[in-house]
Structures are given as structure tokens and as C-alpha cells.
Amino acid sequence: MKNILYASSEVVPFIKTGGLADVVGSLPKCFDKSQYDIRVILPKYECMAQKWKDMMQYKTHFYMDFNGRSRYVGVLEMEYDGVHFYFIDNEEYFSGPKPYTDWHWDIEKFMYFDRAVLSALPVIEFRPDIIHCHDWQTGLIPVYLNDSFQGGDFFRGIKTVMTIHNLKFQGNDNSEVFKRISGLSNYYFTYDKLLMGPDGNMLKGGLVYADAITTVSDSYAEEIKTPFYGEGLDGLMRARSHDLRGIVNGIDYVDFNPETDSNIPFTYNASNAIEKKLENKRALQAELGIGSGDNRFMIGIVSRLTDQKGFDLISYMMDNLCQRDIQLVVLGTGDQKYEDMFRWFAGKYPDKVSANIYYSEAMSHKIYAACDAFLMPSLFEPCGLSQLMSLRYGTLPIVRETGGLKDTVQPYNQFEGTGTGFSFTHYNAHDMFNTVMFAHSVYVSDRDSWNKMVYRAMTKDFSWQASAEKYKEMYDWLIG
């Protein structure tokens, strides 16, 4: 039996702010329970829904020296969906209305969490062969494991994996403050270890000391070795390239299944998608009060409205898009300038633009089911999940070739009759617009090719099962 512990700051269904939570919530369910005992540890936040807190059972508590004094560490547990979860309890660190608050406070609380995770293991009597750490919030686990947890047999030989979900966020703070709170010695504060400029850096620590490194797509694993995408860590990524692999994320094929989805008015599968998607389109046009018309090219956007997601390109081309027979259905929140931009165009072109400046899981499913195409022109995208959901629902993605978008969307080739969507290479508003217009022309004048592409998109497999196989290989390689 191989014992593996996932450590993460957020996990579906308990707490979620982004794709990280989906990964850690979905992946453990995909492993054969007779060969792998995969458990998950995360903070017990005050802001978790009461129904989850009611299901937790007290396991144990102890006190741990951290940042100059003795701190309470409570451990609660529950079994959910066949997976064993542990929750680290400390009201001082994990209270508040959101999981992430002030940057400096977040650094301290996740340092506490990292130390508490290792301190709890002998007490809960679970010795993992591998601790799989996710993002900067767990970056000090490999460092602490190398440092003060090396004495005694319990910790000796435990391997660590560090997964980068987004290299932009690294967990850095002034090195003197970092040193004092973490309790690490001067030895660690050099440029080949935790130091980056004047700061200590949690993610860098994890990347230096982990036995293996993964990120969430093959292309992103290559991109982060370059200065543009490397966020200051490209040199380290190149140095550790033999230990770095890309494994693309999956999506939950039960939650995202157009055949059984209770959020959409008309369910469908790959064989009847063309007729049923049209019925979903009519229903969404009616619900949102935009112009009706079966042949209007409806493009969906479900996203955080930020620069990273390419909204500066969309903003530059909005007037041009609205001159064409195109409908844009937008769902999401983010930067004020983009929220206001979509509201303004929805006011100016009420039959063409629907600006839904909020987030709703049910509405996102309706958009995936009803739209013809899905626009995602990201500046960078470690993996991306929205394009996987749109493929699953037969809504053809229009993406920029970066990170996971490049790995998961095969561009349409009219000569070979292949592809599952449309893509452009350069981060350029006119290139994006031309690609949208190319997709529009195929939709209007070659519907047979379009419909075949919908079928190909829906029959691709981006379930977690495929990703789990690759993680399995890595675990087996590490444990030997």
C-alpha cells in the first residue's frame, strides 16, 4: 500500500476560490484504493459552510512552538466520497470571512499550517510515503522536512512533490520577517535556496527542496523555463528541468455531463448535440432577453475579468465584434474597467451583448450548453478548466496558444478535417478578432464541418482518470 498525503490551502467541496480546489478535491478519488491510501489535509476555516463543520469529528490536539510561542493545533477528520480528510484547527489563524486576507498575515498562517501538517503526522499515526504539496501555501513543507523534522525514523525517507498551479503567486515577504516567523536559520536565506531579491519566498523553498515538481500542463512546464512566464524563477525551473513534468488537469465528468446536467433545460450527448444545443440556445436567448435567431453566432465567456484572461484584447475589439452578427454572453466578475465595459456594450447593443456581472454555477452550465463557441484569449494559462468544460458540452473554444489551452484545444484544419476548436499564436487583438471571424465563417458557410468538430470535441477524454494515470507513474517512480 502506498501512502500519500495531499496538502492544500483549499479543497472542493469544503472551500474554493479557484482551480486549485478542484484539483485537490477531484484527484484523490481516481486512485485504486487497494493500492493507494490517499488522504488530504487542509485548514479548518471559520468561513466553511456549517454543514461541513458538523460532519467533522475531533481527532486530537497538541501544542507546537511557532513564531516565539506555543500554539494550539487541533486536528479534525471526516470521510467524504471515500477519501479521508484532516482539518488543522486554529481560530487565531483560520477565522475571518475568507480563506485569504492580508498578504503578510497569509504568509504567517500558511507557515503555521506547513509546520502543523508535519507535526500532526506522528500524532494521527499516518506516515505518508509522499507528501504532495500544492502551490505556495504549502511551500515550506519540503523545507521543514529537510530541516527540523529529519531526526528519528518517522520522517526519514518521506518524499515530497510540489505542484505549481500558477507561478505568479509565490508567497514572499521581507527576509528578516520571513526568517523570524518561519524559525528557519540563516543557512536557508541564500539565492540558491529561499532568497529572491530582498525577500524570502515560500514557493521557491518548495521548488528547491521537493523531490519532484509538477505543473498543470506540458506547455506551461516548458513556458516557465523562459523569462516571460518564469516570474523570476525560470533559472530554477531550468536547473530542475529533469524533475519537472507537466500533467494536464481534468474535469469532473459527473458534474460536467450534458447528458445528466440538471442545470440545463435540454440534456444531450454527442449524437444529438446539434439539435439539443439549439434548443438550449433558444432558451438562453429568451432567459437573458437578447435577440432571438437560430443562426446567430453565440459566443460564451465565463471567466474572472482580468488582464491575465485577455480582456484587454476583447475590450479593444468589442465595437468590431458588435458590428457583426455575433452574440456575446459574459459571466463573471473582476476588474472594474472590464465589468463596466461589458455593461456599457450591453446597454448599447442589448440584442447582442449580455453582461452577467456575477458568478453562478448554474448559469455557467447554461452558457456551456447553449453557446456555439467559447472565447478564452489568455495572456498565460497554466491549465485552464473552462475550455475543457466547453469541449465537454460541444461549445468550440477559441483560444490563444499558451499553456494548457495549447495542449487541450486542437486547432481546426479545413484541409484535413481535424480539430476541436480555433486558436491564434500572438497576443494580439487583431489576430484574436480574425480567429473569431474565421470561426464565424465556418459556422455560417460550412455547418457540416462545424458539426463534425462538435462531435470530435465532445468525444475527447479530459476526465481526471487520464491525469491520475500520470500521477500514478510519478508516485511509483518516486517510491521506487
Q: What is the mean pLDDT of residues 321-328?
A: 97
pLDDT category of residue 67 using cuts at 50, 70 and 90: very high
pLDDT at 51 over 80: yes
209 and 286 in a single domain? The answer is no
pLDDT at 39 over 90: yes
**Of all residues in the chain, what percent carry a pLDDT higher than 70?**
100
Q: What is the mean pLDDT of residues 186-207?
A: 97
338 and 361 in a single domain? The answer is yes
The enclosing domain of 343 has a CATH number of 3.40.50.2000
- List Cβ neighbours of 456 (8 Å cut-off, separation of 6 or more): 418, 419, 420
* Mean pLDDT (the chain, rounded): 96
176 and 197 in a single domain? The answer is yes
Residue 144 lies in a domain: yes
246 and 292 in a single domain? The answer is no
What pLDDT, on the 0 to 100 scale, is given for residue 252? 87
pLDDT tens digits for range 369-401: 999 999 999 999 999 999 999 999 999 999 999
What pLDDT, on the 0 to 100 scale, is given for residue 150? 84
pLDDT at 359 over 80: yes
pLDDT category of residue 17 using cuts at 50, 70 and 90: confident
What pLDDT, on the 0 to 100 scale, is given for residue 277? 98
DSSP 270-314: TTTHHHHHHHHHHHHHHHHTPPP-TTSEEEEEES-BSGGGTHHHH
Which of 148-157, 348-357, 402-411 has the lowest average pLDDT? 148-157
Domain of residue 99 covers: 2-250+465-479
174 and 50 in a single domain? The answer is yes
Looking at the whole model, is its pTM more than 0.85?
A: yes
**Of all residues in the chain, what percent carry a pLDDT higher than 90?**
96
User: How far are the Cα atoms of 35, 42, 46, 144, 153 from residue 78, in angstroms, in the given order?
Assistant: 21, 12, 17, 26, 28
Q: In this structure, are residues 439 and 422 in contact, taking their beta carbons and an 8 Å threshold?
A: yes
pLDDT at 152 over 80: no
The alpha-carbon radius of gyration of the chain (Å, integer) is 23
What pLDDT, on the 0 to 100 scale, is given for residue 288? 97
What pLDDT, on the 0 to 100 scale, is given for residue 371? 98
240 and 364 in a single domain? The answer is no
191 and 43 in a single domain? The answer is yes
What pLDDT, on the 0 to 100 scale, is given for residue 121? 97
What pLDDT, on the 0 to 100 scale, is given for residue 297? 98
pLDDT tens digits for range 70-117: 999 999 999 999 999 999 999 999 999 999 999 999 999 999 999 999
Q: Nearest-CA neighbor of 429 among 334, 315, 337, 350?
A: 315
User: How many domains is the chain partitioned into structurally?
Assistant: 2
pLDDT tens digits for range 162-191: 999 999 999 999 999 999 999 999 999 999
Distance of CA 380 to the CA centre of its chain: 13
404 and 277 in a single domain? The answer is yes
405 and 391 in a single domain? The answer is yes
- List Cβ neighbours of 33 (8 Å cut-off, separation of 6 or more): 82
pLDDT category of residue 480 using cuts at 50, 70 and 90: confident
234 and 287 in a single domain? The answer is no
pLDDT category of residue 466 using cuts at 50, 70 and 90: confident
Residue 81 lies in a domain: yes
280 and 352 in a single domain? The answer is yes
226 and 284 in a single domain? The answer is no
